[in-house]
Structure 1
Amino acid sequence: MERASIFSIHTIISGENPEYIIINGRALDKITVGSKLYSLDTALDEKSCTVVAIDRNAEDVSSLGVMDFGTISIKTENELFLETQYLYGELVNKYIPTITFDQAKRMAQESAKEDLSQYVKDSTPFLAEVVLEGECCWFFFHNPDIEIPEYAWATRMLSVKAVSKKGDMNKTYNYSDDPIKLNDYLQTMSSYFKRKGT
């Protein structure tokens, strides 16, 4: 068993009370007040903390949704190691990849060809050369040289093929204009595939 990441740590703020830690970052899955989070990707229940307060846009809230940016206050009853980039959630089955990068790329190319062939009149590649790799998936991007008309808004909006290392694929959002958000989203999708086991 292992854990799926649930919160991307951007900055840690020292509070007045040493029992509490305040963390700015982005939720990679839903987090609520009372959620138990872990500082290490381990099957053991040590190094845990509890969310005692959540702030989003200077407003106290009871939860953060997937990809929401906010501040969580956590109470820890043991020593946490927050050198990590993520906090982790529930235990899930160990993720064992079953396809290769080349197989994933072929899947992404076929999907991009279906989506983009009507907009390509020459031998322009359907995918960009840039590929991002997460723990459980790869991100393949539509070639930005392909002009997609405004009316094809769904194709424009869902211009990334997230292919899991077990062969599951989702068309999803492209946050390339914000590298931090893009990295968080790669981790979100990777954790999503890990929790699903696909």
Structure 2
Amino acid sequence: MAVGGFTALLITPAFALSYFTAYAVPGESPRPWLAVLQNPLANAGLLEPGSISVYDSYGVLYLAAWVLALAGSVTLVRSQFGRAAPWLRRAWVGALGCLALVAVGILGDYAIPSDVVGSVGFVLTGLGFVGATVAFAFLGFALRRYIGASWWVAWSVAALGVVSVFGGMVLVGHVPSGPGSGFAVAAMVVAASHRASRVASVTT
């Protein structure tokens, strides 16, 4: 889970820059902080400006990282799923389902030839991210209502979708790495917190 989130964050600059250099769209340009990294990444052999194949390769790697983080999240939630209230279970299914839809969209965008699926992959990715803004808001409410989560935890979860999707687009300007950034950070934080709680329970 943490490895997936970390990998997604780690490749985000090269992934986003690969898009901006491979597809010269009028009015689109990399964010200033990304532009600063372009030459160092190219000199390190991590970026090949103008190469669509390199861009697609980063897409497949991002998909692998996303699925790894998602699989860890599902495993963590499943261990508590049976004891959760029905509405909380539905909230979890909705939130994780949206992230799974993002994965399907990334698969269609980067791992399947575009002449087979067209722009379906991008559409599914967008729908998954937009759905996540709503699903995580409901999840935050459900955590507060059904298990008595603190206000800080409930509001953090509720705001995760909106902050990740819209904040990530402002910061990175590329789909899926921009909207996915907040979720990647959340995967790392949750994994670290879960590990710390397990260590604490063993030592006490």
TM-score exceeds 0.5: no
TM range (shorter): 0.3 to 0.5
Which protein is bigger by CA-based radius of gyration? 1
Q: TM-score under structure 1 normalisation?
A: 0.33
Greater RCO, CA 8 A, separation 6+? 2
- Larger proportion of strand: 1
